[in-house]
Amino acid sequence: MNRKKMKSPKLNSVKQATEKPASRVNDRNRALEEWREETLDRMCALILEADPEMIEERKWKKPSNMMAGVPVWSHNGIVCTGETYKHVVKLTFAQGARIPDPSGLFNSSLEGNMRRAIDIHEGEKVNARAFKALVKAAVAHNSQPAKKADAKATPGGTKAKAVKTPFRRQSANRKGRW
């Protein structure tokens, strides 16, 4: 057999020559995690400044978040959650669609009926005053008494009654077809 000699890749630095590849990857991951953790810590501080009675806890521990859980801030219900992704820190407001956002901080999950989110990319700054106002609005929304779900009212103003329909058996000739 005719075998060619494989050239070994040239190393760019002495550091690369002495380190294992796995440790270089771990260092890179730690550097990536740092900005996300710093951003999440900064936003947590703003949330607690906006509402000192806010409860912070970790929920939903799973392997994808290294069993650390998702930070959840609540006051009379969930106000928001904070998650870190590869390129973004996401703060999701549980009732975001129902609270005013005059500064336009919500920039993600805008199409839903309930949640709204703020995606923060590396190096981005969030207007602290507007963010605190958003947190206060979410707490105020959670503090409102819940409306009872009444039956739909008819045009005459009376409640519509539920009508029971009899159960129909499947005929023998239609068995198995719907």
Output DSSP code: residue 54.
Answer: -
> Which bin fits 123, alpha (ψ -120 to 50), beta or left (φ > 0)?
left
Output DSSP code: residue 97.
Answer: G
Amino acid present at 49: E
Q: Residues of 133-166 as b/e, b for ≥16 C-beta within 10 angstroms?
A: bbbebbbebbeeeeeeeeeeeeeeeeeeeeeeee
What is the tens place of the pLDDT at every residue in 119-170?
999 999 999 999 999 999 999 999 998 766 544 444 555 555 555 555 454 5
Structure tokens of 25? Answer: 């990857």
pLDDT at 146: 75
CB 130 within 8 A of CB 151: no
What is the tens place of the pLDDT at every residue in 2-43?
555 544 444 444 444 454 545 554 554 555 578 999 999 999
Ordered alpha helix ranges (H), the chain: 14-18, 21-50, 128-143
What is the tens place of the pLDDT at every residue in 67-79?
888 999 999 999 9
